[in-house]
């Protein structure tokens, strides 16, 4: 690799400008994960089929495995890390929690980004609209029903606000002692 093959590009990710030196072949997903440490964006197929790598570029969902980092200079990129504000989950994340819309969670970041785009374009989708918008995302665990429920619930504003801070700290050792008397 020659020095001249390295390109300097500044990615604006979740509102923060991040200058990078990358080879042109660096996929956007790898720049996010490897160079910027934003490992929330998952890679399933690396060929545009599964949707797990979905991020928003200038507000629109794209498969980050089908875009080169050098193409994203000057764009506003939103990844799953950009959804929650502080300890407060994004309403769609809260709805996924409420509706148990994830099991292993591998597909979840992609579904969230696709769902966020849908709700921005159409704040009141019907079930068919949700299914069409999520059709490009594959989940191997949930069977999709709870994911669709979660997006509809978020659209209804039905999912209650939830923060990480609300969750009571669990002292596992103390629980074991209490239960087993040791």
Partner 1 sequence: MKPPSFRYFAARSADEAVGLLAEHGAGARVLAGGQSLVQEMNARRVAPEVLVDVNPAAELAFVRQENGTLSIGALTRTSQVESDATLDGSLTGLREAAARVGHVAVRNRGTVGGNLAHADPAANLPPVMLALDAEVVARGSGGDRSISAANFFLGPHRTALAPAELLTEVRLPLPPEGAGSAFIEVSRRDRGWGIAGAAAVVALDREGGISDARIGLSGVGPTAVRARPAEEVVIGERPSAELWKAAAGAAAAALDAPPSDVHASGRYRRHLAGVLVARALAAAADRAERRN
First to last CA, the chain: 61
The site that binds partner 1 (CB under 8 A) totals a number of residues, namely 32
The stretch near partner 1 (CB under 8 A) out of 65-73, 99-107, 144-152, 154-162 is 65-73
In angstroms, the CA 111 to CA 96 distance is 10
In angstroms, the CA 173 to CA 48 distance is 45
Asked if residue 44 binds partner 1 (CB under 8 A), the reply is: no
Q: Which residues contact 172 (CB under 8 A, 6 or more apart)?
A: none
The stretch near partner 1 (CB under 8 A) out of 11-19, 67-75, 94-102, 151-159 is 67-75
In angstroms, the CA 178 to CA 10 distance is 54
Which does residue 25 bind out of partner 1, ligand FES, none, counting CB within 5 to 8 angstroms by kind? Answer: partner 1
Asked if residue 1 binds partner 1 (CB under 8 A), the reply is: yes
Which does residue 105 bind out of ligand FES, partner 1, none, counting CB within 5 to 8 angstroms by kind? Answer: ligand FES
Instruction: Give me 100's structure tokens.
Output: 């148990």
Asked if residue 67 binds partner 1 (CB under 8 A), the reply is: yes
């Amino acid at each position: 690799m020659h020095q001249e093959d390295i390109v300097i590009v500044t990615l604006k990710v979740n509102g923060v400008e991040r200058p990078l030196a990358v080879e042109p072949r660096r996929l956007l997903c790898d720049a996010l994960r490897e160079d910027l440490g934003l490992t929330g964006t998952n890679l399933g197929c690396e060929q545009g089929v599964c949707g797990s790598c979905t991020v928003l570029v200038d507000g629109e969902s794209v498969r980050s495995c089908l875009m080169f980092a050098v193409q994203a200079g000057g764009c506003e990129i939103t990844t799953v890390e950009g959804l929650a504000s502080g300890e407060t989950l994004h309403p769609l994340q809260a709805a996924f929690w409420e509706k148990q819309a994830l099991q292993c969670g591998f597909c979840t970041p992609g579904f969230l980004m696709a769902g966020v785009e849908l709700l921005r374009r159409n704040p009141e989708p019907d079930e068919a609209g949700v299914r069409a918008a999520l059709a490009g995302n594959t989940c191997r665990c949930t069977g999709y029903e709870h994911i669709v429920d979660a997006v509809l619930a978020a659209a209804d504003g039905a999912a209650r606000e939830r923060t990480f801070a609300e969750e009571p700290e669990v002292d596992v050792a103390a629980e074991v002692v209490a239960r087993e008397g040791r």
